[in-house]
């Protein structure tokens, strides 16, 4: 067994950078140190682990099996240390100064996010928020400490996984109802929208740019249907703005349309195909459980979600 007392814990940060960058120069830039200093750190790490950790394959450096086995444990150890050092035994929202990164799904943008920001401005003016848009990598971003909280849909297929990681905690927030919308003076759609009409019309859909899959694949993951999307916009929030005066049909969460300025120029229908029951989820990593500031923010979001329509 390797002895902890022989290990310089400062090297953990260098090890994490080397394992993730797999490049001495980039690891040095990441930590704002010189390349010789990073090379010296790698030499000490190789001696301690009795393993090269990084080996040259062609022009690139690749991790050895031992190096690969250290990637997740080292990152998790650093994140837990960071969370522990950042946790105060007592938390007063009126005086606390903290920064949180929150990932927000588009359907929660129109109402939940503004309500949260207004509440924070009054109750916790020293808390800063960095808001990020949803993507298929949210689970990894939470695992690797790139975000503290995430409000997302509870559709595992959206995140290309079959199960929620055991390290994540979750609270169910609000149900999400999908509807279809067309221009109020659509040339072929009257007071109802049949499945036959829906599938024959040109489709518009909002596909966040952070997703690597096609818009059609995103629709397939959400609704288990096949559509050809003629108009793809960068966000579900854009859909109400592009429908007026066109023959497109769009499928979007009901609250996105309800909060849109263009709602008066559109008419809506229930989806003419079965849609899965979906809810918003609040997700976070269990390393934040002991943090009273994190717990306060979680409870605030849950409370706001319960107050909204």
Segment 229-242 shows an average pLDDT of 93
- Per residue in 137-166, pLDDT (tens digit) is 899 889 888 899 999 999 999 998 889 998
Mean pLDDT calculated for residue range 219-244 = 93
56 forms beta bridges with: 61
**Taking residues 289-302, what's their average pLDDT?**
93
According to the model, what pLDDT value does residue 58 have?
82
pLDDT at 4 over 70: no
Neighbours of 307 (CB within 10 A): 9
The better pLDDT of the pair 124, 21 is held by 124
CA distance 131 to 247: 34
Query: Using 50, 70 and 90 to split pLDDT, how confident is the model at 44?
Result: confident
Q: What are phi and psi of 191, to 5 degrees?
A: -90, 0
What share of the chain in percent tops pLDDT 70? 94
* The predicted structure's pLDDT at residue 194: 95
For residue range 185-225, list pLDDT tens digits in order.
Answer: 999 999 999 999 999 999 999 988 778 889 999 999 999 99
Q: Which residues contact 14 (CB under 8 A, 6 or more apart)?
A: 27, 31, 38, 41, 42, 45
Look at residue 179 in the predicted model and tell me its pLDDT: 96
pLDDT score at 270: 96
pLDDT tens column, 82-136: 766 666 667 899 999 999 999 999 999 999 999 999 999 999 999 999 999 888 8
Sorted by where each starts, the structural domains of the chain and their CATH numbers stand as 4-86 (1.10.10.10), 98-175+278-307 (3.40.190.10), 176-270 (3.40.190.10)
Q: Residue range 10-30: average pLDDT?
A: 85
pTM of the model: 0.75
Task: Label residues 53-63 b or e (16+ Cβ within 10 Å = b).
Answer: bbeeeeeebeb
Counting residues of the chain whose pLDDT is more than 90, the rounded percentage is 53
């Amino acid at each position: 067994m390797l002895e902890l007392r022989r290990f310089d814990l400062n090297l953990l940060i260098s090890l994490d950078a080397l394992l993730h960058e797999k490049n001495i120069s980039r690891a040095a830039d990441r930590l704002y140190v010189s390349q010789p200093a990073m090379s010296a750190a790698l030499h000490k790490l190789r001696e301690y682990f009795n393993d090269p950790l990084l080996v040259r394959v062609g022009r690139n450096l690749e991790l050895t099996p031992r190096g690969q086995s250290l990637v997740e444990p080292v990152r998790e150890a650093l994140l837990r240390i960071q969370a522990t050092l950042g946790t105060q035994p007592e938390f007063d929202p009126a005086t606390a100064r903290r920064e949180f990164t929150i990932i927000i799904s588009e359907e929660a943008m129109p109402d939940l996010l503004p309500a949260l920001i207004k509440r924070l401005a009054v109750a916790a003016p020293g808390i800063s928020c960095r808001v990020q848009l949803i993507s298929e990598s949210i689970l990894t971003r939470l695992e690797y400490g790139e975000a503290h909280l995430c409000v997302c849909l509870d559709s595992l297929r959206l995140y290309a996984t079959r199960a929620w990681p055991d390290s994540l905690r979750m609270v169910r927030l609000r149900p999400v109802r999908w509807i279809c919308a067309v221009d109020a003076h659509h040339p072929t759609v009257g007071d109802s929208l049949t499945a036959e009409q829906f599938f024959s019309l040109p489709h518009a859909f909002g596909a966040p740019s952070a997703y690597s899959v096609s818009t059609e694949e995103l629709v397939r993951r959400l609704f288990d249907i096949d559509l050809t999307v003629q108009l793809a916009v960068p966000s579900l929030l854009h859909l109400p703005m592009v429908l007026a005066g066109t023959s497109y049909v769009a499928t979007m969460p009901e609250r996105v349309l309800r909060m849109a300025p263009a709602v008066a120029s559109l008419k809506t229908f229930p989806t003419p195909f079965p849609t899965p029951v979906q809810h918003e989820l609040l997700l976070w990593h269990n390393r934040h459980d002991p943090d009273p500031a994190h717990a306060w923010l979680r409870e605030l979001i849950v409370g706001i979600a319960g107050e909204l329509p």
